[in-house]
Every structure is written in structure tokens, then in C-alpha cells.
């Protein structure tokens, strides 16, 4: 088949597992990952007329899925207000540093370059989160991204609040280093 033709009838058989594996590593919730894959297929069908054939089907679908993952986290964060991700440039005090979302372009006022930069920053953040130790990543995601209460996280993971806050502090410190190295 020529590179510039889409075949939506084969998407589920050819790409569903790959897209699901990609999504689950970014959202850590099977149901949400399934929903994102389904939304990706729907978006692909809706925008098939815009497909130029510059990329393979799978690459094109992954690009759509990446935007769906970013939109998922934006939706979560807009519901709970400012994210608790803090970028500290001086390790002297919790009061120093900049809020991460103040460094991200305003999604309601995006031009072409800002949209690309915002997507790249979102992917850089998720890349850095994926590099954390599994338990730190899980605790950080549950608390900061999903907005779960300390008590619920501690009960679910069988840890005490002190352990939780140590893991969150370590995750934030590691994220700061990763983002400084890979983005700022």
C-alpha cells in the first residue's frame, strides 16, 4: 500500500496494542489508556482527509495519541487548579522557584510556535516522570497529577505520610534536574 493512503479498517488489528502500550506508560491507568486509544481512532477517522501521507499510519496515529495524552493531563489539571509541580533553582528553600505551569504557554492563546513548544514541554515532563523510580513516579502522579489525598494514597500503597512526602520531595528534585537538563 502506498505511504499516502490510510486504511482505517486495519487500525485496531495493526495498532491497538501498540497504542495501548504507549498510552498505559504515560497515564498508568488501563481504562484511561483504552479511552485514549479509542479517542485516537475517532480523531484519526475525523481528520483522515487531512492526512498528507508524509508519515506512516502508525506514526500519524501516535502523534494523535500524544496530543490526547497531553489533553488528558490538561483536563485533570484544569479541574484541580494549578499543578503542584514546582521548579526550584535554588535548593535553599521551598519558597524559591517558579511554578512550572507559569513557564508553559497559555493553552487558550496559542499560536503555532507556542502550541509546538507547549506539546514539547508536556512530552518532556512525561518523559522525566517516566524516568523516576516506579514507586516515586506512582506517588507523584497520584498526588500531583491525579490530585488524590495523602490519606487515600497512603492507604492504597500501604505507606505512611512521612514516606509519601519524602518520595514526593525526591520525585520533585529528580524532575527538576531532568527538566533543567532536557528542557530549560
Q: Give domain status of residue 154, yes or no.
A: no
How confident is the model over 76-107, as pLDDT tens digits? 766 544 444 444 344 444 444 444 444 444 44
**HSE (side-chain half, CA atoms, 13 Å) at 107:** 13
Q: Give domain status of residue 153, yes or no.
A: no
Q: Give domain status of residue 17, yes or no.
A: yes
Closest by CA to 127, choosing from 182, 180, 45, is: 182
CATH number at residue 65: 1.10.1740
Model-level pTM? 0.45
pLDDT surpassing 60 at residue 44:
yes
Mean pLDDT of 11-16: 90
Contact 87, 74 (CB under 8 A): no
For residue 26, count other CB atoms closer than 10 A to its CB: 23
Residue 183: pLDDT band (50, 70, 90) is low
Element (H, E) at 99: strand 98-99
Residue 35: predicted pLDDT: 93
Q: Give domain status of residue 46, yes or no.
A: yes
How confident is the model over 134-169, as pLDDT tens digits? 989 888 888 887 788 888 889 888 899 889 888 988
- The total number of structural domains in the chain stands at 1
Amino acid at each position: 500500500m502506498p505511504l499516502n493512503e490510510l486504511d482505517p479498517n486495519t487500525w485496531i488489528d495493526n495498532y491497538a496494542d501498540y497504542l495501548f502500550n504507549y498510552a498505559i506508560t504515560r497515564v498508568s491507568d488501563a481504562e484511561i489508556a483504552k479511552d485514549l486509544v479509542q479517542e485516537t481512532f475517532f480523531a484519526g477517522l475525523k481528520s483522515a482527509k487531512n492526512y498528507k501521507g508524509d508519515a506512516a499510519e502508525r506514526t500519524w496515529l501516535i502523534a494523535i495519541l500524544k496530543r490526547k495524552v497531553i489533553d488528558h493531563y490538561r483536563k485533570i489539571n484544569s479541574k484541580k487548579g494549578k499543578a503542584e509541580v514546582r521548579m526550584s533553582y535554588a535548593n535553599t528553600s521551598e519558597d524559591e522557584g517558579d511554578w512550572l505551569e507559569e513557564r508553559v504557554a497559555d493553552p487558550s492563546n496559542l499560536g503555532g510556535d507556542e502550541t509546538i513548544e507547549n506539546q514539547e514541554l508536556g512530552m518532556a515532563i512525561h518523559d522525566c516522570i517516566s524516568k523516576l523510580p516506579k514507586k516515586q513516579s506512582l506517588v507523584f502522579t497520584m498526588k500531583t497529577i491525579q490530585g488524590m489525598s495523602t490519606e487515600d494514597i497512603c492507604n492504597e500503597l500501604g505507606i505512611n505520610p512521612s514516606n509519601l512526602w519524602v518520595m514526593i520531595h525526591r520525585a520533585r528534585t529528580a524532575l527538576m534536574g531532568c527538566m533543567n537538563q532536557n528542557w530549560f
